[in-house]
Amino acid sequence: MGQPFSHDRMHVIDLLLRGGLVVDGTGARPRVADVGVDRGRVVLQEPGSTESALVELDVRDRVVSPGFVDIHTHSDLTLLSAPSARSKVAQGVTTEVVGNCGLGLAPLPPGSPVDPIRAAVGYLDLDPGVQVSWHRLADYLAAVATARPSVNVAAFVAHLPLHGGVVGLGDQPAGAAELDVMCGLLDEALGDGGVGLSTGLAYAPLCFADERELLALASVVARRGALFAWHLRDYGDRLIPSVEQALRVAATTGCRTQISHLVSVGRRNWGAVVEALDLVDRARADGLDVGVDMYPYTAGSAPLSQLLPEWAQDGGIEEVQRRLRQPAVRDRIRSAWVDRPLGWDEIVLNWLPESAPTMVGRTIASVAESLGSTGDDVALDLLRDYGGAALMVAYGRSEDDLRTVLRHPAAVVASDGLALDPDGVTGTGLPHPRSYGCFPRFLSRYAGDDLADAIRRCTSAPADRVGMADRGRLAVGLPADITVLDLARLDDLATYERPHAYPSGVDLVMVAGEVVVQAGEHTGARPGTALRRPREGAQS
Ligand SMILES: [Zn+2]
For 97-110, write each residue's pLDDT tens digit.
999 999 999 999 99
Q: What is the per-residue pLDDT for 355?
A: 63
Phi-psi region of 56 (alpha: psi -120 to 50; beta: other; left: phi over 0): beta
| Mean model confidence pLDDT for the chain | 95
Contact assessment for residue 474 and residue 537, using Cβ atoms and an 8 Å cutoff: no
Cis preceding-peptide flag for 462 (omega within 30 of 0): no
Reduce the secondary structure of 415-471 to three states and give it as a string: CCCCCCCCCCHHHCCCCCCHHHHHHHHHHHHHCCCCHHHHHHCCCHHHHHHCCCCCC
d(CA 478, ligand 1 centre) in Å: 31
pLDDT over 90 percentage in the chain: 91
User: pTM for this structure?
Assistant: 0.95
Going from the N-terminus, what domains does the chain have, and what CATH number goes with each? 69-299+396-465 (3.20.20.140), 303-394 (no CATH)
Q: How confident is the model at residue 353 (pLDDT cuts 50, 70, 90)?
A: confident
| Residue 1, pLDDT above cutoff 50 | no
Q: What is the pLDDT of residues 79-135, one digit of tens each?
A: 999 999 999 999 999 999 999 999 999 999 999 999 999 999 988 998 999 999 999
d(CA 209, ligand 1 centre) in Å: 16
Q: Is the pLDDT of residue 466 over 60?
A: yes
Has residue 317 got a pLDDT over 90?
no
Cis peptide before 440 (omega within 30 of 0): no
Angstrom distances, CA of residue 484 to CA of 398, 453, 503, 508, 513: 32, 17, 13, 5, 13
The whole-number pLDDT of residue 298 equals 97
Q: How confident is the model at residue 486 (pLDDT cuts 50, 70, 90)?
A: very high
Q: What is the pLDDT of residue 66?
A: 98
Q: What is the pLDDT of residue 84?
A: 98
CA–centroid distance, 16 to ligand 1, in Å, is: 39
Tell me how far the alpha carbon of residue 12 lies from the centroid of ligand 1, in angstroms: 46
Distance CA 270, CA 236 (A): 9
The half-sphere exposure of 502 on its side-chain side, counting CA atoms within 13 A, is 21
Distance 247 CA to ligand 1 centre (A): 17
Q: How far apart are the CA of 357 and the centre of ligand 1, in A?
A: 25
List pLDDT tens digits, range 262-303.
999 999 999 999 999 999 999 999 999 999 999 999 999 999
pLDDT at residue 2, rounded to an integer: 37
Ligand 1 centroid distance, CA of 201 (Å): 9
